[in-house]
């Protein structure tokens, strides 16, 4: 059973009671992500996430680590383009303790200078690891060029030279600008009582306030084009993509089906053609990203450089086919069955239920139950998929990024 309450300071609490579970998952979700940063702040959202684990007025760094372990479940955090989440999954009887720990980390971090310097080195190593991973680095290059000089295009981890200059005051100033009670959603799912969660969150967060004026989020526009990044690698890593749909767009179900048919699983067109028939790549896939005001549809692959012309020809052919004819009935039915199964299986995980609760509240302002989601997906028609394909698959609106050893002519997207 879903319930929602709003505290007097604007903080929202959303829960889903699942009495047949033995555990509960809870997340403190802030609608602050890397796209809320200024140019010289790039990486601060992620840095704040790290520093939440480095001590509060009531807990040392070691205390936090020990308590997470003692809870016997899982505790972690992550930063995205638009959100920061601190979450835990525990046995039901440990839920009050988990709420107390997460609230303390989110609301009362100390940002001590010695801890800041130690964690700076950790974050710099994380950035270095990303730079050493071509699959991740090509994504960074693509986003930066596709979104150009906009916060949404900057790396979530930040740039090393910028992170290296962060001060304690920088962290505090950015926190004052972005951490606001009306932008905090506490989501919990599992074996729990809604009123118990509201009472606990209320007592822990009642003093959370921010009198600073809110910061507005910059809109997004795209810059199609082809970008080459020469690097001595065994493989050539490719990303191509276009602007997709916002999270609340009514056609999101159609986009989900389109993506699945294109390259979302092993029976998708790209996987079957590029890997199984042509043997060009070990990994090729398409993916969707939904944001508050825009989206992204992209294709990723890693190949031997000499196979690039054949791969581009295959991509052009398959993307053109999606526009020329609607998917077949068996293809559409298979995609729907896949989604029905994966969504239903995720529903057996209270952490996945908690994630859905939070995202529904953040992007829709209401709860969409699993039956509503399945109904939306099952109602998608082949003609709707083709119509959306014709809208999204316009080559002049696509960008292409190549990372690796390629000195030939720039490939052409012609579908």
Token pair recorded at residue 306: 């000499």
Q: What Cα–Cα distance (Å) separates residue 24 from each residue in 6, 88, 175?
A: 21, 8, 29
Give all strands (DSSP E) within 80-202, no chain letters: 84-91, 184-190
- Could you say which of 16, 37, 41, 49 is catalytic? 49
Residue 210 contacts residue 180 (beta carbons within 8 Å): yes
How far is Cα 65 from Cα 156, in angstroms, rounded to an integer?
24
DSSP 132: T
Cβ atoms within 10 Å of 141's Cβ, excluding its own:
18
Q: How far apart are the first and last CA of the chain?
A: 47
Q: Is 49 a catalytic residue?
A: yes
Q: What Cα–Cα distance (Å) separates residue 327 from each residue in 17, 166, 394?
A: 39, 51, 18
Tokens 């799912």, located at residue: 189
Tokens 């069955």, located at residue: 337
Question: Could you give the angle at which helices 382-392 and 329-346 cross, rounded to 10 degrees?
Answer: 90
User: Which residues are catalytic, by number?
Assistant: 49
């Amino acid at each position: 059973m879903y319930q929602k309450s709003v505290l007097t300071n604007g903080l929202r609490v959303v829960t889903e009671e699942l009495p047949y579970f033995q555990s509960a998952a809870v997340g403190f979700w802030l609608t602050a992500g890397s796209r809320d940063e200024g140019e010289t702040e790039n990486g601060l959202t992620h840095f704040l996430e790290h520093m939440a684990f480095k001590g509060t007025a009531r807990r040392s760094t070691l205390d936090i680590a020990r308590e997470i372990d003692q809870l016997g479940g899982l505790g972690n955090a992550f930063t995205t383009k638009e959100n920061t989440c601190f979450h835990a999954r525990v046995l039901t009887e440990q839920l009050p303790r988990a709420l107390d720990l997460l609230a303390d980390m989110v609301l009362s971090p100390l940002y001590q200078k010695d801890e800041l310097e130690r964690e700076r080195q950790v974050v710099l190593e994380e950035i270095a690891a990303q730079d050493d991973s071509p699959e991740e680095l090509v994504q960074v290059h693509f986003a930066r060029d596709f979104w150009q000089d906009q916060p949404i295009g900057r790396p979530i981890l930040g740039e090393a030279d910028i992170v290296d200059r962060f001060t304690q005051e920088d962290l505090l100033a950015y926190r004052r600008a972005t951490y606001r009670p009306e932008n905090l959603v506490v989501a919990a799912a599992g074996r729990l009582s809604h009123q118990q969660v509201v009472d606990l969150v209320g007592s822990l967060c009642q003093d959370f306030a921010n009198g600073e004026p809110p910061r507005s989020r910059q809109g997004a526009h795209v810059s199609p084009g082809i970008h080459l990044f020469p690097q001595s690698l065994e493989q050539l890593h490719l990303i191509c993509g276009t602007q997709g749909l916002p999270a609340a767009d009514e056609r999101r179900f159609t986009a989900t089906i389109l993506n699945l048919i294109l390259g979302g699983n092993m029976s998708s067109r790209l996987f079957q053609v590029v890997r199984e028939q042509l043997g060009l790549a070990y990994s090729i896939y398409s993916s969707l990203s939904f944001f508050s005001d825009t989206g992204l549809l992209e294709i990723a692959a890693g190949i031997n450089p000499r196979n690039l012309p054949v791969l581009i020809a295959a991509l052009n052919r398959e993307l053109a086919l999606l526009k020329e004819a609607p998917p077949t009935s068996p293809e559409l039915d298979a995609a729907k069955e896949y989604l029905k199964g994966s969504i239903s299986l995720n529903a057996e995980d209270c952490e996945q239920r908690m994630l859905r609760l939070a995202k529904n509240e953040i992007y829709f302002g209401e709860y969409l139950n699993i039956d509503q989601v399945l109904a939306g997906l099952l109602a998608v028609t082949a003609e709707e998929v083709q119509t959306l394909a014709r809208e999204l698959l316009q080559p002049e609106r696509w960008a292409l990024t190549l990372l690796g050893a390629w000195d030939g002519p720039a490939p052409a997207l012609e579908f």
